[in-house]
Chain A
């Protein structure tokens, strides 16, 4: 294989591919990147068996001799990153691969391309057309609430549901839950017979997969396609095809935990609320990461304390419904939600000190946080 490639394009492709290359693996071949030179493009293929990426570089590529070469991924990325010349030449033989740019060059060890796992091609049949911006917005509004290090396995991802002209993304870690929907015209959406089973049923995409998809989606106006199959989801953009294995598990019954009718409700300016919450949360410590919200008529008082730092209080005017009440939340949870608020006003509704608080952060965006009971 012999190819000439624009350095910046190659670096960008390898940087995205780097998200897939596993840091440690029992299969050493997975730490490699597979470069496939076809008639008009150079493809960068990586996989860790849970996720796979095929990134196609078409502009600034000249293929002299088609072929495939498998070289250490991170080494290649580090080398290309520090090059200064605008082009890179990749020239491989059976035993080595020479990467050259101006006067700089390196000779990399190659692996047998037959050992590299086969990464499937994206099938347009039964796929779901979608605007990149809609997808990334839904991920941004929900993925932060997914479980990271504990909780049920099925919570380590974002639930994607398509029904009744709606695309719904839900994520939870068992303490808070983010639910965002976007209108979606499903009339032209015809899942394949094989995919009917996949797309119709709830699909949990791991958080890491969602992050990979968002890395691949660079232009929000791009039209992309999603394809759900039984055990994986694929995403196709102009340049890339990415595949992620779905989380095999049952997502909790989230609809039961979203409060419907609440005794208390406040409507507050999102910026002011988040500023005051941050202010009070500064004094809360690891022993009690909680801010108490006390509601009285048109008035919200925030109070935080910790044994090692002290106490803090903040007040703000709010639109208020219901009686006087108190509830405490982990301020980090609330702030992470308010950060994504689409409107200038945020509405908080709750019933009791131990029942969930529902934050309405947009027309189609609900964030539910379980309270904390504190001894103050």
Chain B
């Protein structure tokens, strides 16, 4: 039974995105519930689109537009004369798409293994392990399973679920394929996180028709070619596109009309706004601020005095102001390969399961995450100007002790250092990270997690080669000299540079885990080693 049969379509909206008499907030919330239900069965994209049209502030023509799109058959560059409402927009009006892969890691598993499609899939590990649910398919969500839940609890809620560890390499591959498809529509494609993208379609009306039509075609192409389900939000800014997308989940295409942004936002629950989390949400609730419209009524001064600079950001967002452009994150090389632009920071964390008490294992794990991060750093031809090491202990203090404000420090501690010169050398960064780790306060508790952040990332300058080995003894080479051979031994830094380059090349051929550095070799005792490296508790971070 299709959703449209269960929920009769709402009266088609006029130019106004709202029904004047309806409680828009209630509708928005209801729309979300409708989607959750629609995902229970086969998620019919048309029904989702209709549901969106049914909800507040969404394209009244959504269902029609969607229904007419020939699924996956059209070329991306085919000229589409029908521009819909977009034709009436002033030239230069921003058309931003936000694309979100529904239940990304679970969808990757379903894309790779057809027999998993339509079944409850939970990614994170086996239920016997003490890991958390990283992602779960919408079929699993029907049973109440959520990301972040313990696997054992997920297994209890959904006994028929299929548990997978996740495949980060495949996820990367599918993400790149999706990026390639998106780049057929616009050069301005930003991969914002592991599972969401922004595309700027401004000025492409003659080429692709309306943004809504283009979004529908994108969704169909990605569904057909990559087999990943997408939810797409369309708006005049990144903020609005993202908010529209939230209402379109799962699998829908939602659009906020240009000119109707304020009215759309006014009806939205305030917690939908990026930056409003649990704490701020609770505080706003105390002030009876429930919708973005309520928040907009509060002056900037009051928000600033209450929340500091974040208050000003919230004031802007409540007014729908977001001028941040979509920045292309990938560059296509002459040989057709896609190269990602260097990130602003690289963060790697690894959790111990069970918690670890041996210092050498903790240091080996830190060395391993540094090596991983450096590998990525060099792939981007970048260098790190500073690094931060984080360590989390198991909380051993009692509830009362924790309540005591005089408690010395939390279970998590970190230390940061700026390097004398930006570096991409594994040896340098492992040494610096180890020194930072040793400088952290020691507690008589097991270590839960160790992590590293390299930031800021700067462009790598050239590598200046050295004349001498700085650590060579004065008599080194004297023996050769006595035999008439004057030898030159490269410097330590040069040797490590060559080693890094050689290892990177080898690992690209045979897999990261095929070669181990001595600094992380200790881990082999406690962790399973595969071609892609050690199997860590959170495989998605195993990049």
Contacts and interface: CB of A to CB of B under 8 A. Distances in A.
Nearest to B422: A287
Nearest to B485: A256
A368 B468 CA distance: 12
B474 interface: yes
Interface stretch (A94-102, A168-176, A220-228, A233-241): A168-176
A151 B420 CA distance: 13
Interface in B461-477: 461-468, 470, 472, 474, 477
B467 A175 contact: yes
A290 B461 contact: yes
A357 B42 CA distance: 68
Given A152-B470, A257-B467, A257-B468, A288 B491 contact: no
A169 B474 CA distance: 19
A255 B486 contact: yes
B487 interface: yes
Interface residues of B, number: 21
A375 interface: yes
Interface string B434-474: 00000000000000000000000011111111111010101
A370 B467 contact: yes
Interface string A273-309: 0000000000000111110000000000000000100
Contact of B487 (A256, A354, A372): A256
Contacts of B460: 287-288, 375
A263 to B, nearest CB: 17
Nearest to A353: B465
Contacts of A255: 486
B465 A372 contact: yes
A163 to B, nearest CB: 16
B474 A368 contact: no
A196 interface: no
A177 B467 contact: yes
Contacts of B464: 175, 330, 370, 372
Nearest to A154: B474
Q: Is the interface of A mostly helix, strand, loop or mixed?
A: loop
Contact of A373 (B458, B463, B466): B463
Contacts of A371: 465
A160 B462 CA distance: 33
B458, B486, B487: residue with the most chain A Cβ atoms closer than 10 Å:
B486
Contact of B470 (A151, A254, A328, A373): A151
B79 interface: no
Contacts of A328: 462
A177, A250, A287, A290: residue with the most chain B Cβ atoms closer than 10 Å:
A287
B381 interface: yes
Contacts of A290: 461-462
B468 A287 contact: no
A49 B412 CA distance: 50
Contacts, number: 73
Interface in B228-285: none
A375 B333 CA distance: 14
B541 interface: no
Contacts of A307: 459
A356 B461 CA distance: 19
Given A174-B491, A256-B488, A372 B463 contact: yes
A256 B458 CA distance: 35
B466 A174 contact: yes
Given A250-B474, A253-B486, A373 B459 contact: no
A257 to B, nearest CB: 5
Contacts of A250: 474
A118 interface: no
A287 B472 CA distance: 29
Contacts of A372: 461-465
Given A253-B477, A256-B477, A256-B487, A289 B461 contact: yes
A250 B475 CA distance: 9
A86 interface: no
B349 to A, nearest CB: 29
A151, A252, A289, A356: residue with the most chain B Cβ atoms closer than 10 Å:
A252
B488 A287 contact: no
Contacts of B468: 152, 172, 174, 252-253, 257
A255 B464 CA distance: 20
Interface string B476-513: 01000100001110010000000000000000000000
Nearest to A155: B468
Contacts of B487: 256
A203 B487 CA distance: 23
A375 B465 contact: no
Nearest to B461: A288
B470 A174 contact: yes
A188 B466 CA distance: 40
Interface in A347-376: 354, 356, 368, 370-375
Nearest to A290: B462
Nearest to B488: A256
Contacts of B486: 253, 255-256
B428 to A, nearest CB: 14
Contacts of A286: 461
Contacts of B474: 250
A338 to B, nearest CB: 19
Which 4 residue pairs of A and B lie closest in terms of their CB atoms, listed nearest first? A250-B474, A372-B462, A374-B462, A290-B462
Interface of A: 151-152, 172, 174-177, 250, 252-257, 286-290, 307, 328, 330, 354, 356, 368, 370-375
29 contacts: A151-B470, A172-B467, A172-B468, A175-B464, A175-B467, A250-B474, A252-B472, A253-B477, A253-B481, A253-B486, A255-B486, A256-B486, A257-B467, A257-B468, A257-B488, A287-B459, A289-B461, A290-B461, A307-B459, A356-B465, A370-B465, A370-B466, A370-B467, A371-B465, A372-B462, A372-B464, A373-B463, A374-B461, A374-B463
